[in-house]
Amino acid sequence: MPHALHADRLHRLGLKSERSITGSRRSNQAVETDEAKATDPKLLALGYVDVAAGDQATMRFIARVLNEPQVRVPERSANGGAFEEAYRSIGGWSGPHATREGREGELKFWQSHGKVGLCWLIERLRLESGIEVIHGVAEVLAAFGPSAPGQILRELQRSSDVHPAYALLLALSWSAYQVKPELEVLLEHTVKRSLNHANSDVREAGAGATRLLESGVATKLLRARLVSETDAAVRETLIAELGEREGK
């Protein structure tokens, strides 16, 4: 997504980005490179077989993330519950929730429920296919707070289904917050996977999520994808993201 549009979304919520396109606080710690493949059943189920080769340390980290106990959230219900009621107002183009004040109130509601609210929203995306709602939830997640990028990355390790993956990658690409240094290797791995996803919308959102990566790493991933990308819209986004870094 073009940088000006990203900035406009933050402005609508009265926020400023804490990150720069020039890069993140990337750690210089060495990563083990022993030849290895994934052996954890959850990794294998998600297709982490060949991708894992040569990066044992990253695979161990992802396996640990996948096996972390998940936050318990209230039961979802199509007919009630404060969370479900609030969720139904997300993404509307008219009414009180379509104003800036309405969106700020919406954001404050989810923020007031902390990690439980954050995890409920992320889980609820698994059932969502409406594009307006997907964009609305992505905006809320992008502005939620410093804990959101890490929780989004964890969810992206558990599933690569098109609609939630697209929404979560959009949230990363619009995020007002940096990924914590200890999660930057996971971010790089996740973005690389998204750029090779079968769905073009997911690839395009993944290109936007390179904004959270160190500039040199992002440029390398974008250029590598551009060589084989055939979708015109995705190519345009890849070129735009490269231009942001190269001053074109």
Tell me whether residue 43 is exposed, middle or buried, using C-beta atoms within 10 angstroms of its C-beta: 0 to 12, 13 to 18, 19 or more. buried
Residue 165's pLDDT band, with cuts at 50, 70 and 90, is very high
Residue 79 belongs to a domain? yes
Provide the pLDDT for residue 157: 85
Residue 129 belongs to a domain? yes
From the list 200, 201, 148, 203, the residue with the least C-alpha distance to 174 is: 148
- Taking residues 9-29, what's their average pLDDT? 39
Residue 60 belongs to a domain? no
Residue 40 belongs to a domain? no
Question: Are the beta carbons of 181 and 207 closer than 8 angstroms?
Answer: no
Start-to-end C-alpha separation, the chain: 15
Name the more confident of 105 and 54. Answer: 105
Highest-confidence segment of 1-10, 77-86, 144-153 = 144-153
Residue 52 belongs to a domain? no
Provide the pLDDT for residue 191: 96
Q: What is the CATH number of the domain that holds 85?
A: 1.25.10
| pLDDT tens column, 176-223 | 999 988 889 889 999 999 999 999 999 999 999 999 999 999 999 999
Residue 58 belongs to a domain? no
Q: What percent of the chain has pLDDT over 70?
A: 65
Mean pLDDT of the chain: 77
Backbone angles phi, psi at 20, to 5 degrees: -120, 155
- Provide the domain count of the chain: 1
Residue 12 belongs to a domain? yes
d(CA 149, CA 155) in angstroms, rounded, equals 10
| pLDDT tens column, 55-92 | 566 666 666 655 665 656 555 544 348 898 899 889 87
- Domain limits at 194? 3-30+69-246
pLDDT at 120 over 50: yes
pLDDT at 10 over 50: no
Provide the pLDDT for residue 91: 84
Residue 42 belongs to a domain? no
